[in-house]
Chain A
Amino acid sequence: MTTSGGWLARALRSGNFLIGAALSGTLALTALVSLFWTPKSATAISIPHRLTQPSGEFPLGTDHFGRDVLSMLMVGAQNSILVGVVAVGIGATLGIALGALASARRGWVEEVVMRLTDFSFAFPAILSAIMLTAILGPGTVNSIIAIGIFNIPLFARVTRGSANAIWAREFILAARAAGKGAFRITLEHVLPNIASVLIVQATIQFALAILAEAGLSYLGLGTQPPQPSWGRMLNEAQTMMFLAPRLAVFPGIAIALAVLGLNLLGDGLRDLFDPKLARKR
Chain B
Amino acid sequence: MALLEVRDLSVEIATSRGTGFAVRGLNFALERGQTLGIVGESGCGKSMTALALMRLVPENARIGGAILFDGEDLAQADEARLCQIRGNRIAMIFQEPMTSLNPVHTIGRQIAEPLMMHRGLDAASARAEAIRLLDRVGIPEARRRVDSWPHQLSGGQRQRAMIAMALSCGPDILLADEPTTALDVTIQRQILTLIGDLVRDSGMSLILISHDLGVIAETVDSTVVMYGGMAVESGPTARVFAGLAHPYTQGLFAARPQLGQGAGKRLATIAGVVPDLVDLPAGCAFAGRCRLAVQACRVAPPAPQDLGLGHSAACLRLDAAREPAA
Among B111-119, B209-217, B259-267, the one that faces the other chain is: B111-119
When each residue 18-62 of chain B gets 1 if its CB lies under 8 Å from chain A and 0 otherwise, what string results? Answer: 000000000000000000000000000000000000101001000
In the assembly, what is the distance between CA of A179 and CA of B83, in Å? 4
> Chain A residues near B136 (CB, 8 Å)?
none
> Chain B residues near A180 (CB, 8 Å)?
83, 87, 113, 117
| Contacting residue for A174 out of B84, B88, B100, CB 8 A | B100
**B80-99 residues at the A interface, CB under 8 angstroms:** 80, 82-88, 91-92, 94, 96, 99
Residues B96 and A179 in contact, CB atoms below 8 Å apart: no
Is A40 among interface residues, defined by CB-CB distance under 8 A? no
Residues B85 and A179 in contact, CB atoms below 8 Å apart: yes
Residues A170 and B103 in contact, CB atoms below 8 Å apart: no
In the complex, residue of chain A having the shortest beta-carbon distance to the beta carbon of B50: A177
Residues A188 and B86 in contact, CB atoms below 8 Å apart: no
Residues A177 and B56 in contact, CB atoms below 8 Å apart: yes
Number of interface residues of A (CB under 8 A): 19
In the assembly, what is the distance between CA of A2 and CA of B148, in Å? 11
Measured CB to CB, the closest approach of chain A to B228, in angstroms, equals 24
Interface class of chain A by DSSP:
helix
In the assembly, what is the distance between CA of A192 and CA of B109, in Å? 14
In the complex, residue of chain A having the shortest beta-carbon distance to the beta carbon of B92: A177
In the complex, residue of chain B having the shortest beta-carbon distance to the beta carbon of A166: B102
Is A280 among interface residues, defined by CB-CB distance under 8 A? no
Residues A169 and B99 in contact, CB atoms below 8 Å apart: yes
Is B104 among interface residues, defined by CB-CB distance under 8 A? yes
Measured CB to CB, the closest approach of chain B to A166, in angstroms, equals 10
Is A115 among interface residues, defined by CB-CB distance under 8 A? no
Residues A171 and B87 in contact, CB atoms below 8 Å apart: no
Residues A170 and B96 in contact, CB atoms below 8 Å apart: yes
**A155-173 residues at the B interface, CB under 8 angstroms:** 169-171, 173
In the complex, residue of chain B having the shortest beta-carbon distance to the beta carbon of A176: B56
A-B contact count (CB 8 A): 72
| Contacting residue for A189 out of B54, B86, B102, B118, CB 8 A | B102
Is A59 among interface residues, defined by CB-CB distance under 8 A? no
Residues A173 and B56 in contact, CB atoms below 8 Å apart: yes
**A86-116 residues at the B interface, CB under 8 angstroms:** 106
Residues B88 and A179 in contact, CB atoms below 8 Å apart: yes
In the assembly, what is the distance between CA of A174 and CA of B95, in Å? 11
Is B239 among interface residues, defined by CB-CB distance under 8 A? no
Is A25 among interface residues, defined by CB-CB distance under 8 A? no
**A161-205 residues at the B interface, CB under 8 angstroms:** 169-171, 173-181, 184, 188-189, 192-193
Residues B54 and A177 in contact, CB atoms below 8 Å apart: yes
**B220-239 residues at the A interface, CB under 8 angstroms:** none
Is B101 among interface residues, defined by CB-CB distance under 8 A? yes
Residues A177 and B99 in contact, CB atoms below 8 Å apart: no
Residues B162 and A174 in contact, CB atoms below 8 Å apart: yes
Is B201 among interface residues, defined by CB-CB distance under 8 A? no
> Chain B residues near A181 (CB, 8 Å)?
79-80, 83
Residues A178 and B114 in contact, CB atoms below 8 Å apart: yes
Measured CB to CB, the closest approach of chain A to B52, in angstroms, equals 13
Residues A177 and B87 in contact, CB atoms below 8 Å apart: yes
Residues B101 and A174 in contact, CB atoms below 8 Å apart: yes
Is B105 among interface residues, defined by CB-CB distance under 8 A? yes
> Chain A residues near B143 (CB, 8 Å)?
none
In the assembly, what is the distance between CA of A75 and CA of B91, in Å? 59
In the complex, residue of chain A having the shortest beta-carbon distance to the beta carbon of B111: A178
Measured CB to CB, the closest approach of chain B to A46, in angstroms, equals 57
Measured CB to CB, the closest approach of chain B to A213, in angstroms, equals 34
Residues B105 and A174 in contact, CB atoms below 8 Å apart: no
In the assembly, what is the distance between CA of A26 and CA of B114, in Å? 46
Is B305 among interface residues, defined by CB-CB distance under 8 A? no
Residues B100 and A170 in contact, CB atoms below 8 Å apart: yes
Residues B104 and A192 in contact, CB atoms below 8 Å apart: yes
Measured CB to CB, the closest approach of chain B to A74, in angstroms, equals 40
Residues B114 and A171 in contact, CB atoms below 8 Å apart: no
Q: A170-B96, A170-B99 are in contact. Are A2 and B87 (CB under 8 A)?
A: no
Measured CB to CB, the closest approach of chain B to A49, in angstroms, equals 57
> Chain B residues near A173 (CB, 8 Å)?
56, 94, 100
Measured CB to CB, the closest approach of chain B to A145, in angstroms, equals 33
Q: A2-B151, A106-B59, A171-B100 are in contact. Are A179 and B105 (CB under 8 A)?
A: no
> Chain B residues near A169 (CB, 8 Å)?
99
Residues A178 and B59 in contact, CB atoms below 8 Å apart: no
Is B165 among interface residues, defined by CB-CB distance under 8 A? yes
Residues B152 and A2 in contact, CB atoms below 8 Å apart: yes
Residues A175 and B54 in contact, CB atoms below 8 Å apart: no
When each residue 106-131 of chain A gets 1 if its CB lies under 8 Å from chain B and 0 otherwise, what string results? Answer: 10000000000000000000000000
Q: A173-B56, A188-B113 are in contact. Are A178 and B99 (CB under 8 A)?
A: no
Residues B99 and A171 in contact, CB atoms below 8 Å apart: yes
Measured CB to CB, the closest approach of chain A to B123, in angstroms, equals 14
> Chain A residues near B92 (CB, 8 Å)?
174, 177
> Chain B residues near A174 (CB, 8 Å)?
92, 94, 100-101, 162, 165
Measured CB to CB, the closest approach of chain A to B9, in angstroms, equals 18
For the complex of A and B, 6 pairs with smallest distance between CB atoms: A178-B87, A179-B87, A179-B86, A177-B92, A170-B99, A192-B104
11 pairs, CB–CB < 8 Å, chain A vs chain B = A2-B151, A106-B59, A171-B101, A173-B94, A174-B101, A176-B86, A178-B166, A179-B82, A179-B88, A188-B105, A193-B104
- Name A residues whose Cβ lies closer than 8 Å to a Cβ of B: 2, 106, 169-171, 173-181, 184, 188-189, 192-193
- Name B residues whose Cβ lies closer than 8 Å to a Cβ of A: 54, 56, 59, 79-80, 82-88, 91-92, 94, 96, 99-105, 113-114, 117-118, 149, 151-152, 162, 165-166, 175
